[in-house]
Chains A and B, each alone.
Chain A
Amino acid sequence: MKKELITLNINGDDIEVAVHPWRTLNEVLRDELHLTGTKLGCGTGDCGACTVLLDGRSVSSCLTLAVEAEGHEITTIEGLSPEADHGDLEHSPLHPIQESFIQKGAIQCGFCTPGMIMSAKFLLDHTPQPTEAEIRAGLSGNLCRCTGYNKIVDAIADAADKLAKGE
């Protein structure tokens, strides 16, 4: 079967890519475009390491066909803090969720982190002041083997506070 030429809007950029219709968004992001911040932990939609936003909704990129994503805005971890000046580590903060993950010890091996942060972004966009139970429910599609989740929950609560204060 021939490849189809599609245009994906990824982190604000329109990118043309030729894909087989059975290619997942995860395969195209990682293998074709080398946007490797989005991980692949299971390929069956169970672990959440591949989570990206599609028009602001969190999806498992391993279960989303690339052709389905055409015409939608795709946000990956690489697009979460576009304004940051990485040459100025001390004064140029990342997105508040990323900053809270760093400060609160929510990151260990880091493999689940991009997916966790994207799920947290979806949660806070829709539930700006979540209870602890809502945060835990919001993470129910993301597995982490290192942290035991508690510091991730703390980080998201902290980010919610920061966002509420407009920091």
Chain B
Amino acid sequence: MSDNQDFSVVGKSLPRSDARIKAVGAAQYADDIFLPGMLYGKLLRSPVAHARIKSIDTSAAEALPGVKCVITGADIPKIKYGNWRLVPESQDEYALAIDKVRFIGDEVAAVAALDKDTAEEAVRLIKVEYEELPGAFSVDEALAENAPVIHDEYQQQTPNISLDRKISYGDLDRAFAEADLILDDVFTVHATSHAYMEPCSCVAEYDHDGRLTIWTSTQAPYFVQCLLALTLEMRENDIRVIKPYVGGGFGGKMEMRPWEFCAAFIARKLGRPVKFTLTREEELATGRRRHPMKIHSKVAFRKDGMILGKEFIVHLDGGAYNSMGPTACFLCGNFGAMLYNYPNYRYYGAHVYTNKPPAGAMRGFGAPQALFVAETQMNMAAEKLGLDPIDIRLMNAMETGDEIPGVATISSCGFKESLLKVAEMTDWRERRKNLKPGQGIGIGCYSFISGGVFNWFNTRYNFTRAEVRAFDDGTVHLMTMASDIGQGCDTVLRQILAEELGLKISDIRLTAADTAVTPQADLGTWGSRVTLMAGNAVRKAAQEIKEQLYKMVSLKFDLNVIHDMRCKDGKIFPANRPDRNISFGEAVRMAQRANRGEPIIGYGSYTPRNKGLVTPAFSFGAQVAECEVDRETGAIEVKYMTTAHDCGTPINPMAVEGQLEGSVHMGLGYALCEQFIMKEGKTLNTTFLDYKLACAEDMPPGVSVHIDTYEPDGPFGAKEAGEGLVSPTAPAIADAVYHATGYRCMDLPITPLKLLKGMKKI
């Protein structure tokens, strides 16, 4: 099945619908909100990595003029929370520490005061007596005999392993016995920051009618609503979460966080609005980050390059709490066996507690780590077997219709086409042979999910839902909890709705991400779920509207029942008789009259069912990096990136390109320059001077092409774009560096120092 390609709005590179408000500086982010009587909040964080709290003395802080409230763990309900509600014992955090702190930055107390300076001063006046405990700062330390137990309040089979996952299929032992080549390697990958430009911020207000409203920088308003209700011991319906404009998230804003709890708790207690805004130092020193991992990967190949099987053992360095680690642990197992057909596979993943800032969800969610390893080993195998890296991939590549046993079916796949396209665009075979010393060209590939199937939040609602109201002035109002955090779903969903109803973007009003108004059913922006899931819901809601309006056209023109109908250019008409049309607005007016005043409303919801365990649809792609290495200094310059990717039908090609170029930025940082410098649990680089993001001058030029596929489960054939693409960049660059220097990176990031050591220059 394929949609009519004669689209009016879908497939067009339209500017974002919120571009103008952002260009004039009028878009309000959480920290831009000022309410009458508003207080300023500040958190006190633990300066030690692992300790028992012996006492807290807040008297001096409370006595400071201008301080209105000081709270500690003793003041709040003793209720643990976490996103993995399906597994209650995984909920391991208190909003403020009770009895123990487990990382440098753990939230211990909160203050609200008349102004920021007073709040900061008050925090400094709180005296906490700690009894320091030994810490564990790596997976190896946490799993060593006699390691300090970080969560000693509940039983764990293995101390400090909070959760593990096993996947097994086929006969792996036989695969290894029959193999001509076995690669058996241990890789380590590091933590990086989301580094969204907007530090987390929220404003909470209590309205004295028992309702609490919070404007917060979040990707998942519904999670915040539910978990605030849990921890404040309030009813969900008494909490209104509004997502204002959000300055990026990348996975880092998809949990209820302590400042949201503290703002709400203090606002309710005092009856005054309270704002908390984090500093960049807090974000970098204590914020969520990408999971560092230790990955042991053993892969069996036949001598012609065919993969026979793989064993993938992953230890996630989770930091002090679970956060979204369990999901990363699950997905890492899936991504370890993606892209290629692994007939025999065994995965063991363990989420390990350490005394470091918790790692959480971050763009790719387990895929950048798993695919760095998988793609590097494909390149190693190609070399050892004397094959071209693209040929060995083509031989094993997944294609449409392939199945991962008991896990997923690949319903659309443009992977082979992507491989062939990057080979053609880069003149791969010739260029690999004809490079100067210090130049290299390498390849990395990816696959990613279009939203998750596994309901770890244990929502009682549909996964997503849309409500559309139609008006007789020819406009509609779309209500959805889909949360635009910069990726552009407000625009994409309007495009989908406009296409479906034959309207212009400007005919669509949108209210999004306000739990008091928009349908509860939506889990937020993560896992590349929004275009496919919310897009399908919007389409279904539009179809309900259309059914009501088509009847009016049939009535007016006394049409034969066999006529197919169209909505286009603001008109509704039989497909083969466009002259018999009525305007959208008039059809609404007629339908409303015919229904004795009932408004014209369409509802649509989407929940993936019978889609395996992982996702309704997978994206695919291939990327080639060209690098130049200064063999004296170890400096690496990425000269050019070539990408071919399959996101199904791009709803807005310009927005997809923007996602893709942003992915290259994050992937390049992951490969080369972004890392946390840690010492005994303390993050030492806490400014953007020391935490190195690529600047405009560092970004390589590049080219990308969309591989045209059609995803049957996606709206107009669309699926994931822009999250998966963060994965191939590091292995592609690492392969190019190997090609240029002979240094094979097994330990990200590739710094000049590691490179020079690898080249035996120092």
Q: Is A163 engaged at the interface, CB distance under 8 Å to the other chain?
A: no
Q: Is A128 engaged at the interface, CB distance under 8 Å to the other chain?
A: no
Q: Can you list 17 A-B contacts with CB-CB less than 8 angstroms, sorted by A residue number?
A: A30-B31, A36-B32, A38-B25, A39-B29, A84-B24, A86-B24, A105-B15, A105-B655, A108-B486, A108-B487, A108-B488, A110-B247, A143-B197, A145-B196, A145-B197, A149-B699, A150-B699
Q: Which of B19, B194, B662, B696 contacts A153 (CB 8 A)?
A: B696
Cα distance, A57 to B702, chains bound together (Å): 32
* Most chain B CB atoms below 10 A, which of A39, A49, A99: A39
Q: Is B233 engaged at the interface, CB distance under 8 Å to the other chain?
A: no
Nearest CB to that of B27 among chain A residues? A110
Within residues 78 to 132 of chain A, which ones have a CB less than 8 A from any CB in chain B? 78, 80-81, 84, 86, 89, 94, 98-99, 101-103, 105, 107-114, 117
Residues of A within 8 Å of B662, CB to CB, are: 108, 145-148
19 new A-B contacts, CB < 8 A, other than A98-B20, A109-B246, A147-B661, are: A39-B198, A43-B279, A44-B687, A47-B197, A47-B280, A86-B24, A89-B20, A102-B23, A105-B655, A105-B657, A109-B196, A109-B485, A109-B486, A110-B247, A140-B696, A145-B248, A146-B197, A149-B665, A153-B696
Q: Which of B13, B198, B657 contacts A111 (CB 8 A)?
A: B198
Q: Is A18 engaged at the interface, CB distance under 8 Å to the other chain?
A: no
Q: A110 to B18, Cβ gap below 8 A?
A: yes
Closest-CB distance, A19 to chain B (whole angstroms): 12
Contact with A along B662-692 (1 / 0, CB 8 A): 1111100000000000000000000111000
Closest-CB distance, B726 to chain A (whole angstroms): 11
Residues of A within 8 Å of B688, CB to CB, are: 42, 44, 46-47, 143
Q: Is A58 engaged at the interface, CB distance under 8 Å to the other chain?
A: no
Q: Is A137 engaged at the interface, CB distance under 8 Å to the other chain?
A: yes
Nearest CB to that of A49 among chain B residues? B197
Nearest CB to that of B23 among chain A residues? A98
Residues of B within 8 Å of A86, CB to CB, are: 24
Q: B699 to A105, Cβ gap below 8 A?
A: no
If A105-B657, A105-B658, A110-B18 touch, does A145 touch B27 (CB 8 Å cutoff)? no
Residues of A within 8 Å of B27, CB to CB, are: 110
Interface size class of B (residues with CB under 8 A): 35 or more
Q: Which of A39, A107, A137, A145 contacts B19 (CB 8 A)?
A: A107
Within residues 214 to 254 of chain B, which ones have a CB less than 8 A from any CB in chain A? 245-248, 250
**SS of A interface (majority):** loop
Cα distance, A129 to B752, chains bound together (Å): 36
Q: Is B562 engaged at the interface, CB distance under 8 Å to the other chain?
A: no
Q: Is B26 engaged at the interface, CB distance under 8 Å to the other chain?
A: yes
Q: Which of A42, A80, A152 contacts B696 (CB 8 A)?
A: A152
Tell me the B residues contacting A by CB distance below 8 Å: 13, 15-16, 18-20, 22-29, 31-32, 34, 116, 194-199, 245-248, 250, 279-281, 485-488, 654-655, 657-658, 660-666, 687-689, 693, 695-697, 699, 701-702
Nearest CB to that of B16 among chain A residues? A107
Q: B248 to A146, Cβ gap below 8 A?
A: yes
Cα distance, A144 to B247, chains bound together (Å): 10
Residues of B within 8 Å of A31, CB to CB, are: 34, 116
Residues of A within 8 Å of B20, CB to CB, are: 89, 94, 98, 102
Nearest CB to that of B690 among chain A residues? A46
If A46-B689, A151-B657 touch, does A81 touch B24 (CB 8 Å cutoff)? yes
If A102-B15, A110-B245 touch, does A41 touch B689 (CB 8 Å cutoff)? no
Q: B247 to A111, Cβ gap below 8 A?
A: yes
Closest-CB distance, B65 to chain A (whole angstroms): 15
Nearest CB to that of B26 among chain A residues? A37
Cα distance, A76 to B688, chains bound together (Å): 23
Q: A105 to B696, Cβ gap below 8 A?
A: no
Q: Is A34 engaged at the interface, CB distance under 8 Å to the other chain?
A: yes
Q: A145 to B24, Cβ gap below 8 A?
A: no
Residues of B within 8 Å of A78, CB to CB, are: 24-26
* Most chain A CB atoms below 10 A, which of B198, B199, B485: B198
Q: A101 to B25, Cβ gap below 8 A?
A: no
Cα distance, A102 to B24, chains bound together (Å): 10
Residues of A within 8 Å of B701, CB to CB, are: 150
Q: B247 to A136, Cβ gap below 8 A?
A: no
Nearest CB to that of B18 among chain A residues? A110
Q: Which of B248, B663, B695 contacts A139 (CB 8 A)?
A: B695
Q: A145 to B280, Cβ gap below 8 A?
A: no
If A49-B197, A149-B665 touch, does A101 touch B26 (CB 8 Å cutoff)? no
Within residues 32 to 79 of chain A, which ones have a CB less than 8 A from any CB in chain B? 34, 36-44, 46-47, 49, 76-78
Residues of A within 8 Å of B695, CB to CB, are: 136, 139-140, 143, 149
Closest-CB distance, A52 to chain B (whole angstroms): 11
Cα distance, A114 to B702, chains bound together (Å): 26
If A44-B689, A137-B697, A151-B661 touch, does A36 touch B28 (CB 8 Å cutoff)? yes
Residues of A within 8 Å of B16, CB to CB, are: 102, 105, 107-108
Residues of A within 8 Å of B196, CB to CB, are: 109, 111, 145
Residues of A within 8 Å of B246, CB to CB, are: 109
Closest-CB distance, B306 to chain A (whole angstroms): 37
Closest-CB distance, A109 to chain B (whole angstroms): 3
Q: B23 to A117, Cβ gap below 8 A?
A: yes
Cα distance, A133 to B485, chains bound together (Å): 30
Cα distance, A116 to B11, chains bound together (Å): 28
Q: A76 to B25, Cβ gap below 8 A?
A: yes
Cα distance, A89 to B194, chains bound together (Å): 35
Closest-CB distance, A130 to chain B (whole angstroms): 12
Closest-CB distance, A166 to chain B (whole angstroms): 21
Closest-CB distance, A5 to chain B (whole angstroms): 18
Closest-CB distance, B655 to chain A (whole angstroms): 7
The 6 closest A-B pairs by CB, nearest first: A37-B25, A109-B486, A111-B247, A110-B22, A148-B661, A77-B25
Closest-CB distance, B181 to chain A (whole angstroms): 37
Cα distance, A113 to B16, chains bound together (Å): 14
Nearest CB to that of A132 among chain B residues? B701
Nearest CB to that of B197 among chain A residues? A111
* Most chain A CB atoms below 10 A, which of B23, B29, B198: B23
Residues of A within 8 Å of B32, CB to CB, are: 30, 36
Q: Which of A40, A42, A89, A105 contacts B654 (CB 8 A)?
A: A105
